[in-house]
A and B are shown apart, each in its own frame.
Chain A
Amino acid sequence: MIISHQIIVIGGGPAGLNAAKYAANAGADVGLIDSGLRLGGQYWRHTGNAEVDESMHHNFDQGSLLMDAVNANPRIEVYLESQIWSASVINNMIILRTKDQTFQTQRLIIATGAYDRSLPFPGWDIPGVMTAGAAQALLKGNGVIAGQSVVVAGTGPFLLPVAAGISSHGGNVVGVLEAAKRLSWAPKISVLIQNPSKILEGIGYIKSLRKSKVEMRFGQAVVAAHADEDGLLESVTVANIDKDFHVKSTYLLKCDVAAISWGFTPDTSLAGSLGLKQGVRNDGSVIIEVDKDQRCTHSHSEVEIYAAGESTGVGGSDLALAEGAIAGLATAHSEKSSSQLRKLRHRAQKFADVLLQVYPVAAGWKSWLTPQTLICRCEEVTYQKVREACEELNARSARDVKFMTRCGMGMCQGRICTRNVSDLFDSEDHDRILATYRPIITPITLGELAQEGLL
């Protein structure tokens, strides 16, 4: 049986929840699909135990009100644990498949969010090295502190809640290493001050870290990880880096977890399969391009596709909520004015743009690589193999490297390494590997295909 809705929203984080709410309140019948066990996305990831959840989050009230509103809305049907493995347009209908169900709609809102951006460095495949988002998901979704002695590193404001969360719940954070210089935000204070709630949130985390006596160091990065005899993380090499990310000096820091995040990468995989126009942002991230109504560009007639939130450019929850609301109203063909929402979106977008400037990732990270450093974790492709593809096989673009080395062709389907492979080839014309058409977006077994009668 095929499940039909007037509007389908993919992703139950801030953008998707607000999109579903606004579309349903405008009178539309909405299906909201999410791969997780609970609504909330990564931002409002929670355990379902109210007491635990309140203690883990800065502003869980906002999320829990929105989730309650969506769950209580008779016009919204929520489908959890539903990861879409196929998306296509057939006979003027958008067809989405999960393991258990097939959905169809003529109006789609993509709100698939983002995931941590990871940079490769020697030893980044050692168990114990993880993304800051992984440490955060362990805490917020499971009530688990990632390790006994945790280094939080990378760049951006996200490092603060991760470190503060771990330390305020009894974990030992042995250092917070921010690649940007101290006070790097000071020149942008006039824009930042227009978002006082975000400034106060940041100050709260810094106070919490001080209270736990956690040291924050600036202009530093984890550039290598080292394993003990069991193959588990026992220390990292920390470097003082210059503004280009070149190493000036190093020291060793003992830890069993290094939680590292270099900002976020938008999840655009559905854009590839649905043939949506993609763009490249200043920071090199590939995004789904949208117009002022959050509408995507594509060649399918009769269907309408919108995108909102991080998949259209990383900008935080306020921006995602505003974009979701605008997309929800537009998709439902509502007459309601969205001028107030557009103002909110504009302000949040300015804030997001400034954060990207304050916390840049400079190209000097490539100097951290050794010949044996893995570039593609799934297919175990080393930096040496990538260089051989260039020097001996005449690869001239990131796509050439992909085809010659299998970089980005493993189980994660390039989600972790594609951006880095593109960066290794970054040229002035920003030649990036975009999300392409994939008949299968996430791995599925042959048995599951057979059950669907598709074999």
Chain B
Amino acid sequence: MISFTFNGVELKGQSGQSVSAALLVNKERINRYARFSGAPRGLFCGIGVCFDCMLIINGQPNLRGCLTEIQPGMIVEVQNDH
């Protein structure tokens, strides 16, 4: 198991899992808040096409959770575009 944090809370995931998958296992479904409406968004296409699962990972925004593998100690944050 790998430990990472989401919004400051320590979570665990399996090695080889994507950030989005590891978050879903931990019942975290919201990856970002939309720019104009502020409505929550989560994983949608799951294969890197739609960009709805963008998160802040180790300080870098706009990274797709579905394409990024979790790493030990990774700092993941919800992305508020609103």
Known pairs A130-B43, A130-B46, A411-B51. 5 more at Cβ < 8 A? Answer: A35-B48, A127-B40, A128-B42, A137-B47, A230-B40
Bound: A410/B18 CA distance, A: 23
Chain A residues with Cβ under 8 A from B18's Cβ? 141-142
User: Are A125 and B43 interface neighbours, CB within 8 A?
Assistant: no
**Cβ of B29 to closest chain A Cβ, rounded Å:** 4
Chain A residues with Cβ under 8 A from B25's Cβ? 144
The number of A-B residue pairs with CB atoms under 8 Å apart is 108
B17 within 8 A of A: yes
Which chain A residues numbered 263 to 307 have a C-beta less than 8 Å away from chain B?
267
User: Are A131 and B51 interface neighbours, CB within 8 A?
Assistant: no
Which residue in chain B gives the minimum CB-CB distance to A49? B16
Chain B residues with Cβ under 8 A from A136's Cβ? 46
**Cβ of A284 to closest chain B Cβ, rounded Å:** 18
Complex A-B: 24 CB contacts under 8 Å: A83-B48, A125-B41, A127-B30, A127-B42, A129-B44, A130-B45, A131-B46, A134-B46, A134-B66, A135-B46, A137-B66, A142-B14, A142-B17, A142-B18, A142-B22, A143-B17, A144-B21, A232-B40, A377-B41, A377-B44, A412-B51, A415-B49, A416-B44, A416-B50
Which residue in chain A gives the minimum CB-CB distance to B30? A127
A82 within 8 A of B: no
Chain B residues with Cβ under 8 A from A130's Cβ? 42-46
User: Are A231 and B44 interface neighbours, CB within 8 A?
Assistant: no
**Cβ of B14 to closest chain A Cβ, rounded Å:** 7
Which 6 residue pairs are nearest across A and B when measured between Cβ atoms?
A134-B46, A127-B42, A142-B21, A411-B51, A137-B46, A231-B40
User: Are A377 and B47 interface neighbours, CB within 8 A?
Assistant: no
On B, residues with C-beta under 8 Å from A are 14, 16-18, 20-22, 24-25, 29-31, 34-37, 39-52, 54, 62, 66-67, 69
Which residue in chain A gives the minimum CB-CB distance to B25? A144
Residue among B16, B46, B52 making CB contact with A133, cutoff 8 Å: B46
User: Are B47 and A134 interface neighbours, CB within 8 A?
Assistant: yes
A47 within 8 A of B: yes
User: Are B24 and A144 interface neighbours, CB within 8 A?
Assistant: yes
Instruction: Mark contacts of A130-157 with chain B using CB atoms, 8 A cut-off: 1 yes-contact digit, 0 otherwise.
Output: 1101111110011110110000000000
**Cβ of B34 to closest chain A Cβ, rounded Å:** 6
**Cβ of B69 to closest chain A Cβ, rounded Å:** 7
**Cβ of A68 to closest chain B Cβ, rounded Å:** 19
Chain B residues with Cβ under 8 A from A230's Cβ? 40
User: Are A134 and B40 interface neighbours, CB within 8 A?
Assistant: no
**Cβ of A378 to closest chain B Cβ, rounded Å:** 7
Chain A residues with Cβ under 8 A from B39's Cβ? 125, 231
Which residue in chain A gives the minimum CB-CB distance to B47? A137
Instruction: Mark contacts of A206-239 with chain B using CB atoms, 8 A cut-off: 1 yes-contact digit, 0 otherwise.
Output: 0000000000000000000000001110000000
Bound: A125/B31 CA distance, A: 12
Known: A142-B18, A146-B24, A231-B30. A380 touches B37 (CB 8 A): yes
Which residue in chain A gives the minimum CB-CB distance to B52? A377
Bound: A37/B46 CA distance, A: 14
User: Are A232 and B16 interface neighbours, CB within 8 A?
Assistant: no
Known: A125-B39, A380-B36. A42 touches B69 (CB 8 A): no
A364 within 8 A of B: no
**Cβ of B30 to closest chain A Cβ, rounded Å:** 6
Chain A residues with Cβ under 8 A from B50's Cβ? 377-378, 412, 415-416
Which residue in chain B gives the minimum CB-CB distance to A267? B49
**Cβ of B47 to closest chain A Cβ, rounded Å:** 5
A443 within 8 A of B: yes
Known: A47-B16, A48-B16, A141-B18. A125 touches B47 (CB 8 A): no
Chain A residues with Cβ under 8 A from B48's Cβ? 35, 83
Bound: A133/B48 CA distance, A: 11
User: Are A125 and B54 interface neighbours, CB within 8 A?
Assistant: no
Residue among A115, A118, A380, A443 making CB contact with B62, cutoff 8 Å: A443
Bound: A349/B24 CA distance, A: 38
Which residue in chain B gives the minimum CB-CB distance to A134? B46
A116 within 8 A of B: yes
Bound: A42/B41 CA distance, A: 23
**Cβ of A341 to closest chain B Cβ, rounded Å:** 28
User: Are B49 and A416 interface neighbours, CB within 8 A?
Assistant: yes
Chain A residues with Cβ under 8 A from B69's Cβ? 37
Residue among A37, A135, A412 making CB contact with B49, cutoff 8 Å: A412
